[in-house]
Structure 1
Amino acid sequence: MQKSFEIQIDGDAYEVPEKELTANQILALAGLAPDEYYLTEIKGHHTESYEGKGGEEVHLHPGSKFVSSYTGATPVSDGQSADAMLTGAKLFAAQLRTAGFEVTELGDEHITFPYAVRAGSHAGLTITMGLVVPPDFPLTPATGPHINYILHPNQAGGEHPTGGIHNSSEHSKHFGTGWQYWSRPFQTWQNGSRTAGRYMAFINGLWSTQ
């Protein structure tokens, strides 16, 4: 008889009886609706997204780590999305609030919100995150992120996780001393849903691979 073992979803442990479950079944273990969330597996310094692949089987082993990502779905009334007329930072902020974030709009397309790291070596850390959202969002994703935490020394060159880190004051009107800017272009933005929820999944991946 096959023994059950534990995996992690958003930092919490769940017992699984099988070595293979679909991404949607894994979400269900954590009580998350597949039509509102998708799953990302953390594999060391790499991630594998199951966005749009909820029926795909995932090979599990003891200690497998996953994070869930809210899709950014918004309430619909009278046949029209509540934020259908918004763009830029206001649209991004509205979608984050729908996902449960407490967002402050600073003007000049800048927003901030508390962010709790859910996976990776810094899991449990809570910081303030800042984003500069282009006026044409969702066509173009946010640039950043900016964080009010000195995680690594500034280094213009190199790769994630320690490269491409700058003083925020060089890239922002509102984030100065004590803030770092991570230059992390979202290269595949045009290939999927262009929502704040998907952008935050990208951010979760960055932290998970620290």
Structure 2
Amino acid sequence: MTVADTRHEGAAHKTVTVIVDEEPVAGVPQHTTPNEILKRAGIDPATHYLERVNGRHRESFKDEGGKDITVHEREKFVSVFTGPTPVS
């Protein structure tokens, strides 16, 4: 087992609080997926995808909801609706 393996092993059990749509979401595993974050925030991954916000930069996880990502305490995300928009 390498040093990196032991670090990852311990971090696998760590949880953090992230911010989704300006609301705190507690108990998120540090190693998770965008879809898991959406579910914990009470948002349907079938109709939304997640974007990580870092200043003016946004990292989109569109079509990558099952991708393994690492999140950090108080990291910010926004959900993006993918369903049809009503026409008036």
TM-score bracket relative to the smaller structure? 0.7 to 0.9
What amino acid maps onto 2:78 in structure 1?
V
Q: 2:60 matched to 1:45?
A: no
Greater percentage in strand: 2
5+ residue gaps, structure 1, are: 74-94, 99-104, 106-210
Which structure 2 residues correspond to residues 12-27 of structure 1 after superposition, within 5 A? 12-27=23-38
Out of 64, 68, 91, the residue aligned to residue 75 of structure 2 is: 64
Question: Distance in 1 between the 2:80 and 2:32 partners?
Answer: 18
8 Å CA contact 2:52–2:77 kept in 1: the answer is yes
Q: Aligned to 1:32, what secondary structure does the other structure show?
A: coil
Matched to 2:57, the amino acid is: H
Aligned residues: 77
Per-residue deviation, residues 83-127 of structure 1 (Å, max 9, x unmatched): xxxxxxxxxxxx1x38xxxxxx7xxxxxxxxxxxxxxxxxxxxxx
Contact preservation (8 Å) 2:35, 2:65: yes
Q: Structure 2 unaligned runs (5+)?
A: 1-9
Structure 2 CA distance for partners of 1:55 and 1:3, relative to 1, 3 Å = closer
Q: Find runs of 4+ consecutive structure 1 residues off by over 4 angstroms.
A: none
* Alignment RMSD (CA, Å): 2.0
Q: Which has the higher contact order (CA 8 A, sep 6+)?
A: 2
Equivalent residue runs for 1:134-149 within 5 Å: none
